[in-house]
Amino acid sequence: MITRRKLILSGTAALLAGVLPRHVGAADDPVGILTAIYARVAAGKGDSGGTFVIQKAARTKYLSNGLASLWAKADARTKKGDSGPVDFDPVTNSQDPDLKAFKVEAGRQEADKATLAVTLESHQAEARANPADKTIRYDFVREAGQWKIDDIKGAVDGSPWSIRALLAASLK
C-alpha cells in the first residue's frame, strides 16, 4: 500500500528529475560526438563518407555558430553550379571515402574548448602514403551548453589544410 509519504517523495523526485540539469552523457562530449560520427561513417563498407556533418541542414547540429556562419558566407559567394571552397569530404579527408576503422584520441580539453585527433584506417593499406594524411584534428567549442566543431584540420600529401582557412580564403 502506498503511503502519503512515499507518494509525496516519488512525486518530488519526478518533478526534480525534470527540472535539474541532466548528467552529460558520452554522446554530449567531444569524444562521444566524434565516435558517433565515425561509427556512422564506418558502417557498412565505410564508403558513405561524413559529408552529412557539413550539409547545410546539419551544420547547426554539428558546427559552431562561427564556423556555420563562415560557411554560409562562403556558400553565398559560390556561383550556382560550382562546388564551393570545400569540394571534398573533410571527415574522411578524401574524395572517395573508404573508412575501415578509426581511433579517437582526446587531446587537451578545457571548460569551453577541446582539441581531438582521429586516426583513420582505410580498406586499402596503400591509400595514404603520408602518415599525416591519416589524422584529422578537430577543434571544439562549447556553445549554449553543447560541444560544437569549430574547425577541422588535416593534410593532403603532407600539406596541411583547415576548413576555416579554406572558407576564409574563398571570401577574399
Higher pLDDT, 24 or 63: 63
User: What is the architecture, at CATH level 2, of domain 26-170?
Assistant: Roll (3.10)
Contact 117, 53 (CB under 8 A): no
Which residues, in sequence order, are bridge partners of residue 118? Answer: 104, 136
pTM of the model: 0.81
Mean pLDDT for the stretch of residues 119-125: 84
- What pLDDT, in 10s, does the model give residues 79-92? 888 888 899 999 99
Q: Can you state the percent helix, strand and coil of the chain, rounding each to 5?
A: 40, 25, 35
Buried b (16+ CB within 10 A) or exposed e, 31-43: bebbbebbeebbe
Domain boundaries of the chain, sorted by first residue: 26-170
Rounded to 10 degrees, the C-alpha dihedral 63/64/69/74 comes to -50
Instruction: Enumerate residues 6+ apart whose C-beta is below 8 A from 64.
Output: 141, 143, 148, 149, 150
pLDDT in tens, 28-46: 899 999 999 999 999 977 7
Interatomic CA distance for residues 93 and 106, integer angstroms: 19
